[in-house]
Chain A
Amino acid sequence: MKELKFISAGKQNDKNTASCCSAEKKNLISEASAIKDTCCCTENSKLPEWITGAAETPVGKACKVSTAWSLADHWGQIKSRTSGFRMKYSVKPGLYAAGNPDKDSDVLVSANYKLSFDILRRSLQGMNVWILVLDTNGINVWCAAGKGTFGTNELVNRVQEVQLNKIVNHNRLIVPQLGAVGVNARSVQKITGFRVCFGPVYAKDIPAYISSGYKKTEEMRTIRFTMADRLILTPMEINPALKKFPLYALIVLLIFGLKPSGIFFRDAWSGGMPFLFLGLISVFAGALATPVLLPFVPFRSFALKGWIAGMLAAFFTIQSSGIIHQGNIILLIVACLFFPLATSYIALQFTGSTTFTGMSGVNKELRAGIPIYITGVAISLILLIVFKLGEWGIL
């Protein structure tokens, strides 16, 4: 029913159709482009479920969005949190409507990363507001603000492009607080006349923020980093680390399988297996355990946190499984040297995802850490060579 109304609403505006859509599914598409270019040309040329209709504005129509998530939205969240899918998960920039906004309704600014947009609209149940989606190349507000794509220029251009001054008769723009890195409120006001209010950090606080007369409590403006937040980020730590694992495995198997008379698969496996297993343990200690248990692992340095996690993991694995023969002192030393350093390095990568680490700190850690990592790997290799020479009876 809704769909039908939607389509007929679009037909009246058929003359706007020309620009950007393929000829197929004429009705739906003409509808879509009628909506002021906001939501036409979605990838598969049909309107997504979350668009529920069109809202009238003095200068055309805007897509109305649902404040509920469909199954597809949930699935999209899972895919974008675990894979490269998030790099192409975007919505078309422009003006959208939640509820039935009018001239006095607030304008919320968002990024065109679909997940950011979804989280925003989900928190707008029962509200009548405009959503102004900026083109951030499908990147979330915070990352985009850091790069400058969620920024003063894009905001100014988008405000002018949708003719926001004709759509609302107030001059208030609510920009997510984490967008402040890229948005110079003063410049936006100078150019567009719109006054930027930096809203709460989390979309879920928007209703309370608006109903309290745009006042933020300390909690609303503080970013958190709970265990759940950290856990949800770990797939993106584990995946890249595991991608390097095959190369590591190849090197290990080569080292252990190598004999003066050739490469022996049986030796490669029996000798290399403990190192493969410990390598896997290191990945999970650095990319899963350290992030999740972050505040409970001693020290503030991520490299040290990772080293401790790696040392404990390697120690207990070796102790409990006895996979490295206790008598084999060289291999034992290599394991205790190499794996904690590997974990430390992997844990250090997590600084890219946290909400509280700064550039100067990471720089300091790297300057101190990299020489240690390189030395550690070099010593491990030398010891392995010594071990091999001993095995071959040369030493």
Chain B
Amino acid sequence: MKYLSDVTTLKLLPEKCTGCGRCVEVCPHGVFKLSDKKASVTDRDLCMECGACAVNCEFGAISVNSGVGCAAAIINSMLYGGEPSCGCDGNKKSADCC
């Protein structure tokens, strides 16, 4: 399943990439693949902006504007200001992923 096309803020700077493979290890949507010691993006539209890749790329090759993709949280932050945060009850995501 894919969400809206061409909205993700994900950016990969290939010149900084050392091919360590962390991004492939952490991305739950298979957005990255490694070939010839360089990471590349397979399909941007699969990205859900969780930020795991950017947090764990120690070479600063990835940037993404991450945050909660939760309508209630965003509406709350529109109404009352502040960053959207998943005050929408926690534990909403399917908890089966341990």
Could you tell me which A residues sit within 8 Å of B by CB distance? 80, 86-87, 110, 113, 115-116, 119-120, 123, 137-144, 146-147, 176-178, 180-186, 198, 201-203, 206, 216, 218, 221-223, 225, 229, 232-233, 236, 294-295, 300-302, 348-349, 351-366, 370
Contacts and interface: CB of A to CB of B under 8 A. Distances in A.
B2, B7, B49: which has the most chain A beta carbons within 10 Å? B7
A115 B51 CA distance: 25
A355 B97 CA distance: 10
Given A142-B97, A359-B84, A185 B68 contact: no
B11 to A, nearest CB: 12
B72 A119 contact: no
B90 A181 contact: no
A143 B90 contact: yes
B78 interface: yes
Contacts of A186: 56, 58
Interface string B16-27: 000000101111
Contacts of B67: 359
10 contacts: A143-B90, A143-B93, A300-B3, A348-B71, A349-B72, A352-B73, A356-B1, A360-B65, A361-B69, A363-B74
A217 to B, nearest CB: 11
B8 A358 contact: yes
Contact of A352 (B5, B47, B49, B72): B72
Nearest to B9: A360
Contact of B92 (A183, A229, A233): A233
A119 B92 contact: no
B1, B27, B58: which has the most chain A beta carbons within 10 Å? B1
A358 B29 CA distance: 12
Nearest to B98: A203
A352 B91 CA distance: 10
Helix, strand, loop or mixed for chain B's interface?
Answer: loop
Interface string B59-98: 0000001111111111100100000111011111111111
B13 interface: no
B41 interface: no
A180 B90 contact: no
Contact of A181 (B8, B51, B88): B51
Interface residues of B, number: 52
A64 B86 CA distance: 33
B34 to A, nearest CB: 12
Nearest to B26: A180
Nearest to A225: B1
B95 A115 contact: yes
A80 B91 CA distance: 9
B12 interface: no
Contact of B94 (A86, A185, A232, A301): A232
A133 B78 CA distance: 35
Given A198-B25, A359-B69, A359-B74, A353 B94 contact: yes
B14 interface: no
A362 B66 contact: no
A65 to B, nearest CB: 14
Contacts of A139: 90-91
A361 B98 contact: no
B28 A221 contact: yes
Given A185-B56, A362-B70, A221 B92 contact: no
B97 A141 contact: yes
B71 A229 contact: no
8 nearest CB pairs, A to B: A352-B70, A358-B49, A203-B98, A180-B26, A180-B52, A223-B28, A359-B67, A361-B4
Contact of B1 (A86, A115, A294, A366): A294
